[in-house]
Structure 1
């Protein structure tokens, strides 16, 4: 019974991590779309700030992804 609970909890954790990853991906896609729209209107308006913001979002997403992979690996061992 305890093993079933652990397996269920691991599956729930993985599903939550996947949901968060999907949400982050959608946010990044929205930021890219907003950046593209701004570039269509005026290619130089706040371009550097937008690129820095997008870079930060991508970096944060990558760090979280690596941390969750390490967390999942540690739970499996």
Structure 2
């Protein structure tokens, strides 16, 4: 991670390394290496799946908490 930060500082990016990479380096990579497009699409798909599963886990937890709370309220 430190190596990546040093590299980004060399290019003049101090704030958000990932944003810098996404905005500046990635279009160059896309233009020079068309096969990277498939990899990027794959990475985005994985990120989307992770976000979806986290959302579903969170909502499931809330629903179960609500149901358990309601049952405790009913039976006491």
Shorter-chain TM-score range: 0.5 to 0.7
Pairing 1:21–2:49 present: no
Is the radius of gyration larger for structure 1 or structure 2?
Answer: 2
Instruction: Output the CA distance in 2 between the equivalents of 1:3 and 1:30.
Output: 42
* Match of residue 48 from structure 1: none
| Residues 37-56 of structure 1: pairs in structure 2 closer than 5 A | 37-43=69-75
By how many angstroms is 1:36 displaced? 1.0
Instruction: Output the CA distance in 2 between the equivalents of 1:18 and 1:30.
Output: 18
Q: Which has the higher helix share?
A: 1
TM-score (norm 2): 0.53
Query: Given the alignment, which residue of 66, 69, 72 partners 1:34?
Result: 66
Q: How many residues align?
A: 43
Superposition RMSD in Å: 0.9
Q: Where does the alignment leave 5 or more consecutive residues of structure 2 unmatched?
A: 1-32
Give SS of 1:41's match: helix
